C-alpha cells in the first residue's frame, strides 16, 4: 500500500512539474512576442504606420482576403487528395470545414501544432485510426513545406540573375540538400530499423508499438505516387496564391515593388514564422518582413504594415473556422459510417 501511495505521489509530482514547465514556456513565448512587437514599434515611424493603415485601398484588401481564402481552399483539396490515396472518403465541404477549424485553433491556441492536432482529431473517425489521421496531416504538412522550398528556389533563381542574394542562394541549396537527405533516410526501412533500438529506452518503450504503427502510416504514402504528385502540384499553387495575396496587399498600401522578391522572401518568412519561440509567429513574422523586404527597397514602416496586414488577413480567414465550430460543433462522422481502404502497414 505504501509503495502504491508513493508511486501515486511521484506521478502527481511529475504531472505538476510538467504543467508548471508548460506554463513557464507559454509565458516566455508571450513575453518574446510582446517584446518583439514593442521593439519593432519603437524603431519605426508610428505616425507613418497609422497613416499607411488609414489610407489602405479597401478594394485591393478585399481581393487579398478572397485570394487567401482560396489558398486555404486549395490546402483542403490537397489534404483530400492525400486521404483519397489511402481510401478515406471525405466530402470536400466537410474537409474544408475541418481545415478551417484547425486553422482557427492553430491561430488562437498558444502552440504551433494545435491546429494540426485538431485536424487529425476531427478526421480520425473517417480514417479509422488516430495514427492514420495524424499521418495524413503530417504528410500534408511536409508536402506543403516542399512547395515553400521550391517557391524559394524559384525566387532565388529570379533574383540571382541580378547578381543579388548569392549568400542566401547557398544557404537555400544547403537546406534543400539536408531536407532531401533526411527524407531519403526516413524512406529507407533498413536504416530506420536500426533506430528502433531507441524506442526501447525508458519512458519511450511504452509507446514503441504506437510509434511503429505511426511510421507505417506515413511510409505507405510512398506507394501513392499519383496522389502525392498531385498534392505537390497543389502545394506550388498554394505558394503562388500566398505570393499573390501579399503582392496585392502591397498594392493596397500603394507600393510599386515588383513581384519577383515576393517569390524569394515569402518562403523564408514562412520558415522564420514557424520557429516555436513566439505565439503563432507574432513579432517574428513582422520582424522578418522588415528584414527581408527592406532588402527589396521597402522602408521599415511599409514592410511592417505589409506584414501586419498579411497576418490580420490570415487571422480573419481562420475566424470562419471558429464560426463554423460554434455553429456546427465537432460535427464528426459517426464511427459506423467511417470508410477507409483495406491497406495497412504491410502494403508498403
Q: Tell me whether residue 2 is in a domain.
A: no
At 278 the pLDDT is: 75
Helix (H, G, I), strand (E, B) or coil at 201: coil
Q: Tell me whether residue 36 is in a domain.
A: no
Q: Tell me whether residue 152 is in a domain.
A: yes
How confident is the model over 194-221, as a mean pLDDT? 63
Global pTM? 0.77
Q: Tell me whether residue 85 is in a domain.
A: yes
pLDDT at 49 over 80: no
- Answer with the residue of higher pLDDT: 248 or 20: 248
- Answer with the residue of higher pLDDT: 93 or 157: 93
Report the mean per-residue pLDDT for the chain: 78
* Total structural domains within the chain: 1
Distance of CA 210 to the CA centre of its chain: 24
Residue spans of alpha helices (H) in the chain: 2-42, 46-54, 58-85, 92-108, 114-127, 130-160, 166-186, 189-194, 208-219, 225-252, 260-273, 284-294, 300-328
Alpha carbon of 8 to those of 5, 11, 16, 17, 207: distances in Å?
A: 5, 5, 12, 14, 21
pLDDT at 114 over 80: no
Q: Tell me whether residue 12 is in a domain.
A: no
At 203 the pLDDT is: 59
Question: Which of 9-18, 132-141, 186-195, 218-227 is predicted with the least confidence, judged by mean pLDDT?
Answer: 9-18
Q: How confident is the model at residue 212 (pLDDT cuts 50, 70, 90)?
A: low
pLDDT at 111 over 90: no
Alpha carbon of 171 to those of 117, 153, 167, 174: distances in Å?
A: 31, 11, 7, 5
Render pLDDT for 77-95 as a digit per residue (tens, 0 to 9). 999 999 988 888 888 999 9
Q: Tell me whether residue 177 is in a domain.
A: yes
Say if CB 100 and CB 47 are below 8 A apart: no
Domain that holds residue 280: 44-347
Q: Tell me whether residue 35 is in a domain.
A: no
Q: Other CB atoms closer than 10 Å to residue 265's CB: what's the count?
A: 26
At 333 the pLDDT is: 53
| CA–CA separation, 72 and 68 (whole Å) | 6
Render pLDDT for 260-281 as a digit per residue (tens, 0 to 9). 889 888 888 888 887 777 777 7
| CA–CA separation, 236 and 226 (whole Å) | 16
Q: Tell me whether residue 30 is in a domain.
A: no
Amino acid at each position: 500500500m505504501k509503495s502504491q501511495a508513493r508511486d501515486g505521489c511521484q506521478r502527481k509530482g511529475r504531472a505538476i512539474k510538467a504543467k508548471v514547465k508548460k506554463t513557464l514556456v507559454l509565458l516566455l513565448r508571450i513575453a518574446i512576442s510582446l517584446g518583439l512587437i514593442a521593439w519593432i514599434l519603437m524603431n519605426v515611424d508610428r505616425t507613418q504606420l497609422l497613416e499607411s493603415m488609414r489610407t489602405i485601398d479597401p478594394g485591393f484588401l478585399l481581393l487579398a482576403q478572397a485570394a487567401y481564402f482560396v489558398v486555404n481552399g486549395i490546402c483542403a483539396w490537397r489534404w483530400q487528395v492525400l486521404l483519397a490515396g489511402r481510401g478515406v472518403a471525405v466530402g470536400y465541404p466537410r474537409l474544408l470545414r475541418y481545415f478551417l477549424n484547425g486553422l482557427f485553433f492553430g491561430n488562437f491556441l498558444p502552440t504551433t501544432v494545435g491546429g494540426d492536432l485538431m485536424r487529425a482529431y476531427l478526421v480520425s473517425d473517417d480514417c479509422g485510426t488516430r495514427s492514420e489521421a495524424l499521418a495524413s496531416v503530417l504528410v500534408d504538412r511536409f508536402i506543403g513545406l516542399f512547395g515553400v522550398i521550391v517557391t524559394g528556389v524559384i525566387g532565388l533563381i529570379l533574383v540571382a540573375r541580378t547578381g543579388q542574394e548569392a549568400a542566401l542562394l547557398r544557404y537555400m541549396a544547403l537546406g534543400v540538400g539536408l531536407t532531401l537527405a533526411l527524407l531519403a533516410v526516413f524512406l529507407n526501412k533498413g536504416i530506420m530499423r536500426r533506430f528502433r533500438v531507441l524506442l526501447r529506452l525508458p519512458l519511450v518503450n511504452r509507446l514503441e508499438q504506437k510509434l511503429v504503427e505511426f511510421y507505417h502510416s506515413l511510409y505507405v504514402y510512398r506507394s501513392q505516387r499519383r496522389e502525392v504528385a498531385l498534392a505537390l502540384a497543389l502545394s506550388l499553387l498554394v505558394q503562388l496564391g500566398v505570393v499573390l495575396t501579399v503582392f496585392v496587399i502591397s498594392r493596397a498600401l500603394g507600393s510599386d515593388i515588383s513581384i519577383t522578391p515576393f517569390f524569394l522572401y515569402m518562403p523564408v518568412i514562412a520558415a522564420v514564422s514557424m520557429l516555436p519561440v513566439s505565439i503563432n509567429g507574432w513579432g517574428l513574422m513582422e520582424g522578418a518582413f522588415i528584414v527581408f523586404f527592406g532588402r527589396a527597397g521597402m522602408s521599415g514602416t511599409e514592410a511592417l504594415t505589409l506584414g501586419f496586414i498579411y497576418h490580420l488577413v490570415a487571422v480573419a480567414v481562420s475566424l470562419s473556422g471558429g464560426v463554423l465550430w460554434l455553429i456546427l460543433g465537432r460535427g464528426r462522422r459517426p464511427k459506423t459510417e467511417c470508410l477507409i481502404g483495406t491497406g495497412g502497414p504491410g502494403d508498403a
